[in-house]
Amino acid sequence: MNGRKGISRRERPAKPALTRPGIVDAAVGIMRTEGLQKVTMRRLAQELDTGPASLYVYVANTAELHAAVLDEMLGDVDLAESSDQQWRDTLVEVLMSYLSVLLANPQLARSAITARPTGRNYLRMVDRILELLDRGGVPARRAAWGVDLLLQTATASAAEHAEPTPGTDEDWAALSRTLQDIDAERYPHVERLADDLLSGSPTDRLTWAFRVLIDGLHDTPAPGE
């Protein structure tokens, strides 16, 4: 059909050489279309038209692969560089953006709790948060420990709102029933606060949590400070 040489030897540029970026890219693709639970060595190898053993040249294990995927996703976090708000509000903005990225794929949040990321996008975000804390006059030690605490809270909240597959509503309904019919003899304080325990949207709660943390770390000295 056309005169390009080699066209008969390879109809398509099949099987591009394996590279780590290529592998991570394919993994992100699978995650976006099928969810993180499908990002397995076997499924990924199938996508790249090879065997699972081949991937181990570029990737240490599944956990490391998931960490690489997570860092890629963190490129979407909005660092609110052009925000003209107070440092506290800008900080909440950044944290909420981080949260929304994790909520968009909550299974990632689970893996983020154990596999603490060290990729470039994670560092970019940490750097930005440290900048904002510095602007707020938070001392070094407190800022350094605080960034961990803030991100951990966001990560854990996202992970909490992540179910493997089945109904969130069922779980919440079950919890709601447990609290409404609670044994007031045995758990008097839970009974007394049942309504409050169930109140508030995740966003309201987390916004409050960030305020609590920011105020607290602003005012509570670290040991030896």
Partner DNA sequence: ACCTGAACACCGTTCAAGT
Residues of the shown chain interacting with DNA in the complex, contacts defined by CB under 7 A: 15, 17-18, 38, 40-43, 50-54, 56-58, 61-63
164 binds a copy of itself (CB under 8 A): yes
216 binds a copy of itself (CB under 8 A): yes
Q: Tell me the one-letter amino acid at 13.
A: P
Which residue reads 């490391």 in tokens?
A: 64
What the block records as the tokens of 46 is 């199938």
Torsion of CA 68, 59, 41, 53, to 10 degrees: 170
Burial 27-64, CB ≥16 within 10 A → b, else e: bbebbeeeebeebebebbbeebeeeeeebeebbeeeee
Name the residue nearer to a copy of itself (CB basis): 24 or 66.
66
What the block records as the tokens of 22 is 């290529």
User: Mapping DSSP to helix (H, G, I), strand (E, B) and coil, where does residue 115 land?
Assistant: coil
List the one residue from 7, 104, 149, 173 that touches a copy of itself (CB under 8 A). 149
18 binds, among DNA, a copy of itself, none (CB under 5 to 8 A by kind): DNA
Contact positions with a copy of itself (CB under 8 A) in 30-49: none
87 binds a copy of itself (CB under 8 A): no
127 binds a copy of itself (CB under 8 A): yes
Helix (H) or strand (E) holding 49: none
Name the residue nearer to DNA (CB basis): 115 or 197.
115
20 binds, among DNA, a copy of itself, none (CB under 5 to 8 A by kind): none
For the CB of residue 21, give the shortest distance to a copy of itself in the complex, in Å: 19
Q: Are 127 and 151 in contact (CB under 8 A)?
A: no
User: Mapping DSSP to helix (H, G, I), strand (E, B) and coil, where does residue 176 land?
Assistant: helix
Q: Are 44 and 36 in contact (CB under 8 A)?
A: no
Q: Which residues of this protein are in contact with a copy of itself, per CB under 8 A?
A: 63, 110, 113-114, 116, 118, 123-124, 126-128, 130-131, 134, 140-141, 143-149, 152-153, 155-157, 159-160, 162-164, 171, 174-175, 178, 182, 186-190, 192-193, 196-197, 199-200, 204-205, 207-209, 211-213, 215-217, 219-220, 222-223
